[in-house]
Amino acid sequence: MRERAVINRIAVLAMHTSPLEQPGTGDAGGMNVYVAQTSRRFAANGVEVEVFTRANAPDLPPVVEMVPGVTVRHVPAGPPELDKNDLPTRIAEFASGVVEAGQDGFDAVHSHYWLAGQAGIQAKRAWRAPLVHTAHTLAKVKNAALAAGERPEPLARVLGEEHLAAAADRLVVNTEIEAAELRGLYRARAEQVLTIPPGVDLDCFTPGDRAAARVELGLPVDAVVPAFVGRIQPLKAPDVLLRATAELLARTPSLRERMVTLVVGGPSGTGLDQPELLQRLAVELGIADVVRFLPPRSGAALAQVYRAADVVAVPSHSESFGLVALEAQACGTPVAATAVGGLPVAVADGVSGVLLPDHVTERWADALAGIALDPVRRASMSAAAVRHAARFSWERTTEGLLAAYADAARTEVGACTCTS
């Protein structure tokens, strides 16, 4: 048996979005959290990390130290302000910049999303390092569950993901569901796919004083508070929460005096086409007086949002995992979510929250009321939510990734020895 390969330096590729950006708007979301949290923990384990991302704003410094041991490199590849749909035309330029900036080489390359994955293939060849890839979302899966108004993923992405399924040394997925999708839809090899669930920052996202959180946010202490946190786009379906809110008020008009529905996030994806669409919907539904829109936030400020809420809605049409669901539960807030992608793993149905099969307004109103308006059930789910979230940590994720890198590197060494 060969000794486990030693991993001292990791190149992390995230072409279209940077771990330095605020999650919850534009292209920044769960992937940003994933890259930032795992990179910090790699460094804490003595592993040097360089994150390569495209320079998407003018005057960005070429190199930024995110934390000691983690360097973010802004690689020029096309005009800074470039539409995401035009990014595939800049992959080769980005890949060249990555390879040139990383001339000292790395023990492993971890690419995130298909754009960075294509550059990762070039880096793998140049540095003779194993390539580990995480898709985060898959085009074929998204196209099978499109929301109204959402554009299908292009053929170039489908072909790029198929290429990665063949070329990457390891494909890391969040759940066994995603593993089956890779094997079935992309013909990935069973031994190539590793399931490593993402985590939650259990030091930041903790139960706290709900009344104090509400006071901090300017909410009445006795309010009924359902919340949505995330990017504002059809895929994430924040409109489902607004329609359910309107249904609850139609059923019980007196609830209007106490209801405050929070929507925390910014426009993203096709949501950028009509950034005020959700606000207009609130007006059309006659609930603008009870809906409060807040800008995206992270860390302690985001934890206070979760603590202030009675229930967090995650009504996505497609979701590879659902970090928002984990964060909310870690704060002791039950979740109502659609039973898609990784959400049946992130949420314990009937225990830490409720999973719904579709987006029928009446069902969502029932689910939200069943948690927010039932103090006894909510308290039980709150305690269970904390226990459920505690099963997931970034430390466990990082340990799994380091083992995956080492295994891929060892396989690479073995392959080279056999052909020499």
Q: Is 257 annotated as a binding residue?
A: no
Q: What is the DSSP string of 313-357?
A: EE--S--SS-HHHHHHHHTT--EEEES-TTHHHHS-BTTTEEEES
Contacts of 103 (CB under 8 A, 6+ apart): none
Q: Is 2 annotated as a binding residue?
A: no
Q: What are residue 90's phi and psi, to 5 degrees?
A: -110, 5
Residue 236 assigned as binding residue? yes
CA gap 288, 308 in Å, rounded = 20
Residue 29 known to bind ligand: yes
- Per the annotation, does 161 bind a ligand? no
| Residue 76 is assigned to a ligand binding site | no
Residue 140 annotated as binding? Answer: no
- Is residue 1 a known part of a binding site? no
Would the annotation count 319 as a binding residue? yes
Tell whether residue 93 is among the known ligand binding residues: no
Question: Binding residue per annotation — 22?
Answer: yes
The answer to the question of whether 137 is labelled as a binding residue is: yes
Q: List Cα–Cα distances, 356 to 197, 234, 344, 352, in angstroms.
A: 22, 18, 10, 13
Asked whether residue 388 is marked as a ligand-binding residue, the answer is no
Is 395 annotated as belonging to a binding site?
A: no
* Cβ atoms of residues 116 and 16 within 8 Å: yes
Whole-angstrom distance, CA of residue 332 vs CA of residue 310: 9
Alpha-carbon gap, residue 254 to 407, rounded angstroms: 60
Q: Is 327 annotated as a binding residue?
A: yes
Is residue 307 part of an annotated ligand binding site? yes
- Does the annotation place 32 within a ligand binding site? yes
What the block records as the tokens of 158 is 């489908």
Binding residues for 1D-myo-inositol 3-phosphate, as ranges, are 16, 27-32, 84, 113, 137, 157
| Numbered residues of the known binding site | 16, 22-23, 27-32, 84, 113, 137, 157, 231, 236, 297, 306-307, 309, 319, 327, 333
Residues at the binding site for Mg(2+) are: 306-307, 309, 333
Instruction: Please enumerate, by residue number, every residue annotated as part of a binding site for UDP-N-acetyl-alpha-D-glucosamine.
Output: 22-23, 30, 231, 236, 297, 319, 327
